[in-house]
């Protein structure tokens, strides 16, 4: 018997030895993205991709799903890119479409972070083998830019401060400001909602007003969800936002949500305009009532959307 055939027979024997209920349970947990089992780098929780060529079509997609703004529960939809005519829509419609498009992405990416945080806490318990704990901590440390021995107190304390969700109100406000409500060149051509830079010309667009002595580009993303993911990763790992993370950790320790003033504190380095930029983001949160409307909003497991004819 050939070696591949032997391997296949061994695999079959192993599967036959597993009780059917255990096999089904394992597959179900894998499908649901159970914390500690699913690959944290995957599209978990999954979202239904949608595309819209126009504001009218996007409005139709959301209406078909019974999705209006504000909403306490949002459908699991992921818009790949904003339609090019976003700038032509009336102001209130444009804002409502923008928030509806972004909210599922922010909620889904925050859920990914919650699962990573759960993995961190699993690794800190002694219920797992030591090597398994080290593997989890090393992977998370690499992702969140934390140095040090994986089981050292300083390492996991730094990870616990970094692996945490970002208030949806802050993400929506910064995305709106940085992308001009989805109408900027970088939002339209690069799916870049948060003004993130890169120094790799193959992955970016050159700003039209870039100084001659500058060498940065605006990062290009395949879709809007990737832009949201990168933004959350940036706030959670870049040294420039250590103060933001400290304020967030304090609020968590006190068992309360961050106020608009707290969630914007520590972001002075996000823009060259410093505190003036921070005040503008705070004003946007207040003006659009995002702290109230985006708090306690949840992501539905299924969409009510039906195919448009």
Tokens of 135: 């593997």
Query: Is 255 buried (19+), middle (13-18) or exposed (0-12) by CB count in 10 A?
Result: exposed
Distances (CA, A) of 247 to 219, 242, 276, 302: 28, 9, 20, 34
Distances (CA, A) of 183 to 50, 107, 296: 19, 22, 28
CA pair distance 13, 93, nearest whole angstrom: 59
Q: What is the CB neighbour count within 10 angstroms for residue 302?
A: 8
Tens of pLDDT along the chain (309 residues) come to 444 444 445 434 443 444 443 333 333 333 333 333 333 445 678 999 999 999 999 999 999 999 999 999 999 999 999 999 999 999 999 999 999 999 999 999 999 999 999 999 999 988 889 999 999 999 999 999 999 999 999 999 999 999 999 999 999 999 999 999 999 999 999 999 998 967 677 766 676 677 776 767 778 999 999 999 999 999 999 999 999 999 999 999 999 999 999 999 999 999 989 999 999 999 999 999 999 988 889 999 887 765 443
Please give the pLDDT value at position 106.
98
Q: Which of 106, 83, 84, 87 is nearest to 95 (CA)?
A: 87
The enclosing H or E element of 55 equals helix 55-64
Q: Which residue has the tokens 């992308």?
A: 179
Distances (CA, A) of 22 to 12, 17, 34, 37, 94: 16, 10, 15, 15, 49
Which residues lie below 8 Å from residue 123, measured CB to CB, with a gap of 6+?
Answer: 132, 133, 136, 137, 140, 156
Contact 207, 228 (CB under 8 A): no
Q: Which of 92, 80, 95, 82 is nearest to 55 (CA)?
A: 82
Tokens of 290: 């995002």
Architecture of the domain spanning 48-299: Orthogonal Bundle (1.10)
Query: Is 29 buried (19+), middle (13-18) or exposed (0-12) by CB count in 10 A?
Result: middle
Please give the pLDDT value at position 43.
65
In total, the chain counts a number of residues equal to: 309
Kindly report the pTM of this predicted structure.
0.83
CA pair distance 164, 52, nearest whole angstrom: 32
Please give the pLDDT value at position 305.
62
Residue 161 CA, distance from chain mean position: 17
Query: Is 114 buried (19+), middle (13-18) or exposed (0-12) by CB count in 10 A?
Result: middle
């Amino acid at each position: 018997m050939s070696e591949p055939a032997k391997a296949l027979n061994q695999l079959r024997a192993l599967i036959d030895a597993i009780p059917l209920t255990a096999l089904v349970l394992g597959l179900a947990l894998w499908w649901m993205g159970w914390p500690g089992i699913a690959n944290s780098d995957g599209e978990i929780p999954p979202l239904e991709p949608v595309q819209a060529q126009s504001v009218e079509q996007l409005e139709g997609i959301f209406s078909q799903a019974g999705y209006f703004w504000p909403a306490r529960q949002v459908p699991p939809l992921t818009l790949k890119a904003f339609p090019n005519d976003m700038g032509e829509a009336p102001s209130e419609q444009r804002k409502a479409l923008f928030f509806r498009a972004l909210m599922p992405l922010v909620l889904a990416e925050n859920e990914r972070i919650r699962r990573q945080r759960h993995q961190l806490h699993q690794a800190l318990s002694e219920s797992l083998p030591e090597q398994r704990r080290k593997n989890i901590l090393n992977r998370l440390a690499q992702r969140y830019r934390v140095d040090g021995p994986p089981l050292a107190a300083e390492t996991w304390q730094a990870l616990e401060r970094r692996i945490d969700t970002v208030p949806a109100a802050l993400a929506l406000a910064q995305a709106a400001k940085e992308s001009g409500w989805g109408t900027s060149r970088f939002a339209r051509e690069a799916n870049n909602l948060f003004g993130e830079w890169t120094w790799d010309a193959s992955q970016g667009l050159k700003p039209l007003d870039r100084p001659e002595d500058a060498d940065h580009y605006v990062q290009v993303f395949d879709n809007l969800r990737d832009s949201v993911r990168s933004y959350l990763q940036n706030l959670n790992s870049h040294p420039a936002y250590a103060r933001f993370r400290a304020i967030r950790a304090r609020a968590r320790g006190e068992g309360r949500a961050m106020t608009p003033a707290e969630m914007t504190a520590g972001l002075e380095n996000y823009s060259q305009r410093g505190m003036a930029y921070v005040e503008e983001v705070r004003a946007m949160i207040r003006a659009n009532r995002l702290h109230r409307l985006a708090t306690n909003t949840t992501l539905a497991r299924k969409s009510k959307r039906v195919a448009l004819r």
